[in-house]
Amino acid sequence: RNAVALSAGVNGIYLSQAKLDVGFNDSGRQINSLTARLTGNVAGVMKLFDRCGWLAEPDASLPHQYSLMAGQGVPEKGD
C-alpha cells in the first residue's frame, strides 16, 4: 500500500514507521535493530553511520536491505 519504488541512482534511507516504533523504548534507547533500505551512494551513507556510532550490516534477504544498530547496542533482556 505505501510501497516506495527504490532507485539505486537516488540517495535514500527508507525506514518503516512500525520498525521505528518498536526499535526504541520510551527513553530513546534502541532496543531492537532497525531494518532499513539504503540506496544511492551506500558507501557514503555507511561512512556517515560509522561517524555517528551506528553499525549498518547488509541483509542478503532483500536488495538494498540493511540492519541498523546504534553504538550503544541492543541491551540484553532484563537490562
User: Does a structural domain hold residue 62?
Assistant: yes
Predicted model pTM = 0.73
User: Does a structural domain hold residue 7?
Assistant: no
pLDDT for 32 equals: 93
Indicate if the pLDDT at residue 70 is higher than 60: yes
- Between the two ends of the chain, the Cα-to-Cα distance in Å is 37
DSSP string, 22-77: HHB-TTS-B-SPEEEEEESSHHHHHHHHHHTTEEEEE-TTSTTEEEEEETT-PPPT
User: Does a structural domain hold residue 30?
Assistant: yes
CB of 37 closer than 8 Å to CB of 12: yes
The parent domain of residue 52 ranges over 12-70
Indicate if the pLDDT at residue 73 is higher than 60: no
Taking only the tens place, the pLDDT of each residue in 6-65 is 777 888 899 999 999 999 999 989 999 999 999 999 999 999 999 999 999 999 888 889
Indicate if the pLDDT at residue 77 is higher than 90: no
